[in-house]
Amino acid sequence: MKSILIRADGSFEIGMGHISRMITISNYLSTNYLIYFVTVDNPKTRKFLENIRFPVTWLNLNMETQHTQMFELIENNNIELVINDIIDIKENYLKCLKKDFPNLKIINYEDVHCGYNQYCDVIINPLAFLRERLTKEKTRHYQYLNDLDYFIFPQDLQTSKNKVVSEKIKEILIFMGGADTRHITLKVLKILCSQDLSFYNITVLLGPFMDKFDILEVKKYKTKIPHLKVFHEVPEVISFYENTDLCFCAGGNVLLELIKSGVPTISVAAEEHEDIQCKYFSNKGLTLYGGYYQNINPVFLLDKFNKSNDPILRKEIKTRSLSLFKSDGLPQIKKIINHLLLVD
């Protein structure tokens, strides 16, 4: 078997989406390849990966030490391909990999900067807003794969049942992913509290990197909202997707997962690139744009909430959502890997 090193990081700043999807692709590739998982060491990530079935190398925060660790791992295990999913990829990191191992193949996944492609064999950016921008600017090249068909979803999401759209919203989910660096959960709860919420069952999911202060503040809303449930670090979220009528979410991986599931959403952007993405999907009729975290307008957000109560609108969102993804990203990416490593 040929060996692949998969590098993904998670933190309060970037959440756990990168690690989650690289675990998904690791599981998918493990029948054909030896997988070595690499990530920067921190207690939250250790807990998140405690049941992973691949060897994990915990990188030191010191960059020189990281370089030594990576060098030894690649050399000692005859690694032929490195997949990076670390969003802020440094040029020197890639340059050193190619200098030390000229024949090493490199794939960058969701490389927002994508300015160091001379060191990469393939760059995969499945974000839709980037695809349209690159098409308009005609800057696409053979190394650059920019299409939603390369998006990696959790394996259990692939087989999740289609949600039946109810006539009235009863179950509301609030979930910002592994981290909520912009405190959007609290902002949404504060705005919703101005309404009569007695009819709704509201569930809040808090990710592993949620700020401790925010967790305490969210739980205080149990005294203000009649039917509020709060869960912290749940092992899986797909069942929550299947049992909700509407979800307030940020504009990252969770939004894509909810669209894939056919769940109507109100999306609030936590970052500039998320803002572009939320607006893109809103224009496509796949989500209701709730604003940017810095200036969430309560009147604007509540207007979207009121609009979401229209069952016809939610059914239209679901229909469009389920037709968006034409193929599964995992087989597409495996074909690329097989081609790079000359595997039939």
Give the pair of three-digit tokens for residue 286.
């796949």
At 323, is the pLDDT very low, low, confident or very high (cuts 50, 70, 90)?
confident
Separation CA 189–CA 211 (nearest Å): 16
Please report, rounded to a whole number, the percentage of residues in the chain having pLDDT higher than 70.
Answer: 92
For the chain, the average pLDDT equals 89
Is residue 234 a contact partner of residue 256, using CB atoms and an 8 Å limit?
A: no
What is the β-pairing status of strands 246-249 and 2-8? Answer: unpaired
pLDDT of the residue at 88: 74
Give the pair of three-digit tokens for residue 132.
């349209």
Separation CA 27–CA 149 (nearest Å): 19
**Closest-CA residue to 188 (of 200, 165, 201, 204):** 204
pLDDT of the residue at 149: 85
Please give the backbone phi and psi of residue 202, each rounded to the nearest 5 degrees, phi first: -110, 125
pLDDT of the residue at 112: 63
What's the average model confidence in pLDDT over 2-25? 87
What's the average model confidence in pLDDT over 138-152? 70
pLDDT at 141 over 50: no
The contacts of residue 159 (CB under 8 Å, 6+ apart) are none
Separation CA 284–CA 290 (nearest Å): 15
Cβ count near 161 (within 10 Å): 9
**Hey, do 2-153+328-340 and 156-322 end up sharing a CATH topology, with the first three levels equal?**
yes
Specify the higher pLDDT residue, 25 or 146: 25
Strand residue runs (E) in 136-271: 144-145, 171-175, 201-206, 228-232, 246-249, 265-269
DSSP 236-273: --HHHHHT-SEEEE-SSHHHHHHHHHT--EEEEESSHH
Is residue 181 a contact partner of residue 12, using CB atoms and an 8 Å limit?
A: yes
At 11, is the pLDDT very low, low, confident or very high (cuts 50, 70, 90)?
confident
* Residue located via tokens 């390849």: 33
pLDDT at 317 over 60: yes
CATH numeric code, 2-153+328-340: 3.40.50.11190
Specify the higher pLDDT residue, 113 or 16: 16
pLDDT at 139 over 70: no
What's the average model confidence in pLDDT over 323-332? 86
Please give the backbone phi and psi of residue 248, each rounded to the nearest 5 degrees, phi first: -90, 125
Is residue 99 a contact partner of residue 121, using CB atoms and an 8 Å limit?
A: no
Nearest-5° angle of CA 318, CA 320, CA 324? Answer: 115
Is residue 320 a contact partner of residue 285, using CB atoms and an 8 Å limit?
A: yes
pLDDT of the residue at 114: 59
* Residue located via tokens 């990076």: 84
Please give the backbone phi and psi of residue 242, each rounded to the nearest 5 degrees, phi first: -70, -25
At 142, is the pLDDT very low, low, confident or very high (cuts 50, 70, 90)?
very low
Total-model pTM? 0.88
CATH numeric code, 156-322: 3.40.50.2000
What's the average model confidence in pLDDT over 105-120? 77
pLDDT at 132 over 80: no
Q: What is the CA radius of gyration of the chain?
A: 21
**Closest-CA residue to 180 (of 207, 204, 203, 202):** 207
pLDDT at 124 over 80: yes
Separation CA 316–CA 287 (nearest Å): 10
What's the average model confidence in pLDDT over 161-177? 89
| b (16+ CB within 10 A) / e for 289-324 | bbbbbeebeeeebeebbeebeeeeebbebbebbeeb
Strand partners, 203: 173, 229
pLDDT at 140 over 50: no
pLDDT in tens, 191-248: 999 999 999 999 999 998 888 999 999 999 999 999 999 999 888 899 999 999 999 9
pLDDT in tens, 27-38: 999 999 999 999
Domain boundaries, the chain: 2-153+328-340, 156-322
pLDDT of the residue at 148: 84
**Closest-CA residue to 129 (of 335, 265, 269, 315):** 269
At 115, is the pLDDT very low, low, confident or very high (cuts 50, 70, 90)?
low
